[in-house]
Amino acid sequence: MPSPLLDRLMSDIKQAMKDRAQDKLTALRTLHAQIKDATVNQGKDPTDDDVLTMLNRAIKQRLDAVEQFRKGGRDDLAVKEEQEIVHYRAYQPAQLDAAAVEALARQAIAETGASSKADTGKVMKALMPKVKGKADGKLVNQIVGGLLP
């Protein structure tokens, strides 16, 4: 099954070439290369899930890089990474706010019968497929940890 998200990415790459938007073009080509490396080069067709997985990974890497560049006093490089994040976020589904994640977490806790922090893994296993691509895993883990005694 072809990936509409990947088709949109390819279309945006072509448009960035026409617009001579070099920063955007570089960011999108980098993302496309990562997606291709993880799927096509492994002998499988990319799906929207594959694209979202690689997209989330790329955003997480950029966020980590921004933090490191800021610590190192390299604001110029941090700004460049932040611009890439903006380009990548355009492909993400709408993000859930903390209240929505908390409601889903409470539901997952009830479904799994979790009663202590030792059950965090069970809750996360039940919850993550529901929020995949829609919420940061770190935020989800913090909320689940806060809800379990």
pLDDT tens-place string over residues 128-141: 888 877 887 788 88
Q: What angle do CA 90, 21, 46 make, to 5 degrees?
A: 45
Q: Write down the domain spans for the chain.
A: 4-89, 98-147
Distance of alpha carbon 7 from alpha carbon 12, whole angstroms: 9
When the candidates are 1.10.10.410, 3.40.50.620, 3.40.50.1820, 3.75.10.10, the CATH number that belongs to 98-147 is 1.10.10.410
Given 1.10.287.610, 1.10.3720.10, 1.10.1510.10, 3.40.50.150, which CATH number is that of 4-89?
1.10.1510.10
Distance CA 105, CA 143 (A): 7
pTM: 0.73
Helices marked H in 1-149: 4-19, 22-38, 48-71, 75-89, 98-112, 120-131, 137-147
Across 56-64, average pLDDT:
90
**pLDDT for 87-130, tens place per residue?**
998 888 888 888 888 888 888 888 888 888 888 888 888 888 88
- Both ends of the chain: CA-CA distance in Å? 43
Assigned token pair, 11: 């279309």
The single residue listed with the structure tokens 């594959």 is 50
- pLDDT tens sequence across 61-89: 999 999 999 999 999 999 999 999 999 98
The Cα 61–Cα 88 span in angstroms is: 12
- Calculate Rg over the CA atoms of the chain: 18
Who has greater pLDDT, 117 or 15? 15
